[in-house]
Amino acid sequence: MRNDRYYSLNLNIRGIGQSPTLAINELSKQLQAKGKHVYPMGLGQSPFPVPSPVVEALKMHAHEKDYLAVNGLDILRKSVARFHRQIDGVDISSRNVLIGPGSKELMFLLQLVYYGDIILPTPCWVSYAPQAKIVGRNIRLIHTTFENKWLITPEQLESYLTGENDKYRPRLLVLNYPSNPHGGTYSSEELTRIARVAQKHEIIILSDEIYGQLHHKGRHISIARFYPERTIISSGLSKWCGAGGWRLGTFAFPSTLAWLMNSMAAVASETYTSVSTPIQYAAEQAFQGGIVIERYLCHARRILSYIGKRSTEILTNSGIRVHPPDGAFYLFIDFSQCSEKLIPKGIIDSNILCAKLLDETGVAILPGGSFQRPAEELTARLAYVNFDGSKALATSETIPLSERLPEDFGNYCCASVFEAIHKIVEWLN
Ligand code: GLU
């Protein structure tokens, strides 16, 4: 018998399920509701509260009810452009800023309107490839290695681009740094060299800098500095401003790519119309910055750096391969050194690894396969966000920023993170 439900699905959608980040979050909640003790480290959600001036701005504008322009609120676009000029040193005009309901949606629109192959260094964030599949784009994966800290090298990019038959093919490289899923980032020199290759082949770069402000040392550098003419910078409120659920993302285009922005805005006008008005006013406050937000960021970075380093130490001392993160709140763990113990237990791929770990310890993390790594590779992403961000910030604020956080900070403020890390180590042994 014909399965109508299956055959009536658009070919591009067949086989696509709910995004792993959202699915693991729901599963963790269901298990918790059933009474299981879960360490929810699957979804990458900021543990910190939204800074108070931003919350106040939202309250103040709750009564704003009119639709806004598709491209976004003028004063917000100005703030975003200023932000990129001042913080990233890139000459962005407010005319070339597009506001969307999350950078995720803007990325989808970009892939929809831009008829080019998408080049993804892996491991990469879970949604880039499914979005490309949904809109029918070719996906070109470039696998990076643990030895290269999971970063793409200019040589790898060059060899891929010269290896293509049609050198005029439209192509879009997605570069995400500090990275989700591994927290690593590029040095200024590495970015310069990658930019040179991109320039030579005239490809567009989507520079996903959503974690830029969460560089642990506050030293994020944008590749747009070295390749301004074809780089789109993606940012938003979700990570550095702790407001993932508010859904606000920003794209900043060079004037040479204004045609792309205009096409995206045309599709936006036929789909979501415009982003929530009060949220845009609040975002204006966030992108304006100021002392309170700067202090918030300094403390958030110090806390994330502390947890990232300590967790890496514990794992590395137990023979598990992982790099300390430069930014964000992720560790990309390579369990391959433990394969002799895991394979006899039937753990032959990253999905089984994560399912068993969750079942036997309650630690919820996401398999490397969700980040486009080969399924049989025993890797996984851990989001170290299962702690009370308000409490951690309040405690950090009592310690001068010139000092390091004390040894016992972890026991008091983020014990659940370290408990989970120890659970992983015990489970492996
Ligand atoms: N970016 C977050 C993550 O990778 C969650 C948001 C999402 O996937 O939509 O976990």
Give the CATH number for residue 418.
Answer: 3.90.1150.10
Shared-domain flag, residues 99 and 213: yes
What spacing in Å lies between the alpha carbon of 169 and ligand 1's midpoint? 30
Shared-domain flag, residues 105 and 143: yes
**Probe residue for ligand 1, chosen from 27, 43, 211 as the CB with the greatest number of ligand atoms within 8 Å:** 43
Shared-domain flag, residues 23 and 133: no
Shared-domain flag, residues 63 and 145: yes
* Ordered per-residue pLDDT tens for the chain, 429 residues: 566 777 788 999 988 899 999 999 999 999 999 999 999 999 999 999 999 999 999 999 999 999 999 999 999 999 999 999 999 999 999 999 999 999 999 999 999 999 999 999 999 999 999 999 999 999 999 999 999 999 999 999 999 999 987 878 899 999 999 999 999 999 999 999 999 999 999 999 999 999 999 999 999 999 999 999 999 999 999 999 999 999 999 999 999 999 999 999 999 999 999 999 999 999 999 999 999 999 999 999 999 999 999 999 999 999 999 999 999 999 999 999 999 999 999 999 999 999 999 999 999 999 999 999 999 999 999 999 999 999 999 999 999 999 999 999 999 999 999 999 999 999 998
Q: Which of 289, 305, 332 is the last residue of a domain?
A: 289
Domain-embedded: residue 10: no
Q: What is the pLDDT of residue 62?
A: 98
Domain-embedded: residue 217: yes
126 DSSP β-pair partners: none
Query: Looking at ligand 1, which atom is closest to the CA of residue 181?
Result: 4
Question: Can you give the pTM of this predicted structure?
Answer: 0.96
Domain-embedded: residue 223: yes
| Inter-residue contact 208 to 236 (CB < 8 Å) | no
Domain-embedded: residue 120: yes
Residue bearing the CA closest to ligand 1, atom 8? 21
**Probe residue for ligand 1, chosen from 108, 126, 354 as the CB with the greatest number of ligand atoms within 8 Å:** 126
Shared-domain flag, residues 145 and 160: yes
User: Cβ < 6 Å from ligand 1: which residues?
Assistant: 19, 21, 43-44, 104, 125-127, 180
Domain-embedded: residue 8: no
207 DSSP β-pair partners: 175, 233
Shared-domain flag, residues 234 and 321: no
Shared-domain flag, residues 203 and 251: yes
Shared-domain flag, residues 377 and 297: yes
What spacing in Å lies between the alpha carbon of 47 and ligand 1's midpoint? 13
Q: How far apart are CA 233 and CA 231, in angstroms?
A: 6
Domain-embedded: residue 2: no
Domain-embedded: residue 3: no
Shared-domain flag, residues 138 and 246: yes
Query: Looking at ligand 1, which atom is closest to the CA of residue 180?
Result: 4
Q: What is the pLDDT of residue 168?
A: 82
Q: How far apart are CA 311 and CA 237, in angstroms?
A: 26
Element housing 77 (H / E): helix 74-88
Which structural domain, as residue segments, surrounds residue 345? 17-46+292-428
Query: Looking at ligand 1, which atom is closest to the CA of residue 366?
Result: 10
Domain-embedded: residue 4: no
Q: What is the pLDDT of residue 6?
A: 72
What spacing in Å lies between the alpha carbon of 43 and ligand 1's midpoint? 6
Q: Which of 289, 317, 352 is the last residue of a domain?
A: 289
Rounded to the nearest 5 degrees, what angle is found at the Cα of 131, between the Cα atoms of 130 and 137?
A: 95
Radius of gyration, alpha carbons of the chain: 21
Q: How far apart are CA 20 and CA 26, in angstroms?
A: 10
Shared-domain flag, residues 349 and 238: no
Number of domains in the chain: 2
Q: Which of 261, 289, 317 is the last residue of a domain?
A: 289
- Start-to-end CA distance of the chain, whole Å, equals 50
User: What is the token pair recorded at 115?
Assistant: 């008829």
User: What is the token pair recorded at 160?
Assistant: 């891929």
Residue bearing the CA closest to ligand 1, atom 7? 21
Shared-domain flag, residues 258 and 402: no
